[in-house]
Structure 1
Amino acid sequence: MTVAARPTNPVHGREITVTGIDGAGKTTLATRLHQSLVDAGHKAILVGKHTTDVPMDAELSAYLDRLNELVYRRDARVAQACGEHYWLMALAAWYTLQEKLVIQPALAAGTHVVLDNAHHKILARYAVSPNVSTRLADQVFAHLTEPDLVIFLRLGAREALRRKGEFTSLEAGHLGAGDEDFIRYQDTVLAQLDEHAQHGGWLSLDVTDMDRDDVFKIAADALVDRLRLSL
Structure 2
Amino acid sequence: MHILTGAPGKLITVTGIDGAGKSTLAAALHTALKDANENAILVGKHTTEVAMSAELSAYVDSVNTVVYRRDPTVGAACGNHYWLFALAAWYALQDRLVIQPALRAGVHVILDNAHHKILARYAVCPDVPTDLARQLFAHLTPPDLILFLRISADEALRRRNGDFTALEAGRTGSTSKAFISYQTHVTEELHRQATDATWVSMDVTRKDADAVLCETISLLSERLDIQIP
Same fold (TM over 0.5): yes
Match of 2:116 among 120, 127, 130: 120
Higher mean displacement: 45-54 or 207-216: 207-216
Following superposition of structure 1 onto structure 2, how do residues 184-199 of structure 1 map, counting pairs within 5 Å? 184-197=181-194, 199=195
Query: Alpha-carbon deviation of 1:214?
Result: 1.3
Gaps of 5+ in 2: none
Is residue 174 of structure 1 aligned with residue 166 of structure 2? no
3-state SS of the aligned residue for 1:121?
A: helix
**Aligned residue number for residue 226 of structure 1:** 223
Tell me what 2:93 maps to: 97
Aligned counterpart, 1:142: 138
C-alpha separation between the residues in 1 aligned to 2:90 and 2:101? 16
1:67 aligns with 2:63: yes
In 2: Cα distance, 1:63 partner to 1:162 partner: 38
What is aligned with 1:216? Answer: 213
**Two-structure CA RMSD over aligned residues (Å):** 1.0
Structure 1 residue runs without a partner (length 5+) = 1-8
CA contact (8 A) 1:45 1:113 kept: yes
Q: Distance in 2 between matches of 1:31 and 1:10?
A: 26
SS in 2 for 1:219: helix
Letter in 1 for 2:21: G
* Cα separation, 1, equivalents of 2:204 and 2:6: 31
Aligned-partner residue type, residue 81 of structure 1: A
Runs in 1 of length 4+ with deviation above 3 angstroms? none
Q: Which residue of 2 aligns with 1:3?
A: none
CA-CA distance at 1:25 after TM superposition? 0.2
- Tell me which amino acid in the other structure corresponds to 2:46: H
Q: Which amino acid aligns with 2:77?
A: A
Offset of 1:10 from its aligned partner? 5.4
Please give the alpha-carbon distance, in whole angstroms, between the structure 2 residues aligned to 1:228 and 1:90: 36
How many residue pairs end up in the alignment? 222
Question: Equivalent residue for 2:102?
Answer: 106
The answer to whether the Cα contact below 8 Å between 1:175 and 1:181 also exists between their aligned partners in 2 is yes
Return the match for 1:157 from 153, 156, 162. Answer: 153
1:200 counterpart SS class:
coil
C-alpha distance in structure 1 between counterparts of 2:6 and 2:152, whole Å: 37
C-alpha distance in 2 between matches for 1:160 and 1:189: 13
- Aligned AA for 1:210? K
Distance (Å, rounded) in 2 between the aligned partners of 1:68 and 1:164:
25
TM-score, normalised relative to structure 1: 0.94
Are the counterparts in 2 of residues 76 and 169 from structure 1 also a CA contact under 8 Å?
Answer: no
Q: Distance in 2 between matches of 1:75 and 1:129?
A: 22
Distance 2:7 2:205 in 1: 37
